[in-house]
Structure 1
Amino acid sequence: MISYTFSIITGAFAFVSVMFMLRYKSEKQNTTKLLKEKAELELKVLKSQLNPHFLFNTLNNIYSLSIINSGKTSESVSRLSEILDYVLYKGQNKTVNISDEISIIDDYIELEKLRYDERLKIFKRQKLNSENKIPPLLYLSLVENSFKHGAGKSVGDIEINIEIETDENQSVFRIKNTYSETLKSERESLGLNNIEEQLKIFYENQFEFNVSEIGNWYEVEIITPATE
């Protein structure tokens, strides 16, 4: 009887253990799936906060040119068309090639040059040793911020410096702009909190996000691990 009872208890214990492990694995998978879906939803929300803001400023630029019947209006519309195509299509992907992001940044800069003329000085240096990927609109949002909060609030000459470097280990993006003394470094108003939240969702804690002010220069640096 003892031997028989022991066999039943042992079998029951083994059965319960297997069921517990299977249930634990299932719940863990469901939790992971829910967290992933939550992160993707949050990322979409963050992007939706950036895109209308960016488009509104760009349309304002074109509107200003159209008022004075500038011959540059048609060129502005063409540039905007390229940007819209990127935002509406590639902007919905999880990642994009950095070279694609740089290309649309060039379109955006040319669009802004039509507005600021000789007041604007742009210096861009890029060294792409690896075709890494990043979340779409990440770099473009920082460029747009530099124009809005730096160039847009300055009455004199404006200077914006952009550096982009990639290798097989990481991607580095730096942008700095001159700004008026009246502009305070409020991260919320500059949209930097939004960008940092995107980085946290996409890279968790595997990134560097540095903001500094030296003299009348405002600089933002993002270092992210290389992804393919």
Structure 2
Amino acid sequence: MPQVSEVMSHKQWRFYLVYAIFLLVIFLISPTMDQSDPYGPHFQLRIVFWLLFLHMVVSWVVNLWKLNQQLRNERTYAELSLLKSQINPHFFFNTLNNLYGLALEKSDQTPELILRLSGMMRYIIYQGQHDWVSLQDEIDYLNNFIELQHVRFQKRVSVSFNTAIEQDIKVPPLLFINLIENAYKHGVEKLTDNAYVLINLTVKGQQLTFEIANNYDPTEQNDIIGIGLSNLRKRLMLLYPDKHQLTITDSQNRYHVILVLTLSESNISGALT
């Protein structure tokens, strides 16, 4: 984090310097004044000195606190921008690989995949740059991703995406896509048959719950803690500090993730305007 000297303006430094010189002058003058009256000018000047000194100290502390908050906010914004910028290459790399494979096969489904990919790119470019988006828009984006995967995989996959939303809310863009990508990458992609992905998204009061489960082939399983999940953890810490719970379980060839978010009033009321 930058030092105070790096973020305080020259104007602020001059203000405190002049303030300190003024106090020093008062302090040096007061002994030269008539001290015969204990409550006379000498006493009054000393009272003024200590009041001004206290004011300067309090002003300095408050200013430092404001600067510290500003630095924290700027650092958080910079970290979120970096994390969001890492999502796009990660997604495009995977999807373009899919498109390349279908093009090699001269598949009739290639135009449909390109069309859906175009819609998802449009969402990432325009909506993905916002700090918050409508949950319904995010759901539409996830449905497009799932449909794109149907085009990609030439095998039967059982996919269920259920939503129960009392009212539309605001959420960070591209918050859930990494979990769904992991389900396909580490589950559907490696299984020859009976693959499934079960997704439930509910919003009740000030709580959002996103749940996803998928099976996988244990003989093909590798480390699932990749850049996508690491990225998600960092975004949650920045966006929902002490207001999220991410639970991951892996048992009996089944991977299960539950993400619970505590929503703020602004996320709820902001979606209604």
Same fold (TM over 0.5): yes
Coarse TM-score class (shorter-chain normalised) = over 0.9
Q: State TM-score, norm by structure 1.
A: 0.94
| 1:42 equivalent in structure 2 | 79
CA offset at residue 102 of structure 1?
0.6
1:114 to 117, 132, 151: 151
| 1:89 equivalent in structure 2 | 126
2:225 alignment partner, SS class: helix
- Consecutive unaligned residues of structure 2, counting only runs of 5 or more, are 1-34, 269-273
CA offset at residue 183 of structure 1?
5.1
CA offset at residue 213 of structure 1?
1.3
| 2:21 equivalent in structure 1 | none
CA offset at residue 92 of structure 1?
1.2
CA offset at residue 164 of structure 1?
0.2
2:187 to 139, 150, 165: 150
Distance 1:99 1:107, change over 3 A: same
Distance 1:219 1:190, change over 3 A: farther
What are the superposed Cα offsets for residues 40-70 of structure 1, whole Å, 9 maximum, x if unpaired?
1111212222221111111111111111111
1:24 to 61, 64, 89: 61
Counterpart code for 1:122: V
Matched, 1:160 2:197: yes
Distance 2:191 2:84 in 1: 27
**Conserved 8 A contact 1:172-1:222:** yes
Distance 1:13 1:184, change over 3 A: farther
Aligned residues: 228
Larger RCO (CA under 8 A, 6+ residues apart):
1
**Conserved 8 A contact 1:83-1:108:** yes
2:242 alignment partner, SS class: coil
- Consecutive unaligned residues of structure 1, counting only runs of 5 or more, are none
| 2:252 equivalent in structure 1 | 215
Distance 2:222 2:155 in 1: 26
Please say which structure displays the higher CA radius of gyration.
2
| 1:141 equivalent in structure 2 | 178
1:150 alignment partner, SS class: helix
| 1:175 equivalent in structure 2 | 212
2:142 to 105, 120, 124: 105
Distance 1:43 1:94 in 2: 9
Distance 2:188 2:157 in 1: 8
Q: State TM-score, norm by structure 2.
A: 0.79
| 2:17 equivalent in structure 1 | none
| 1:56 equivalent in structure 2 | 93
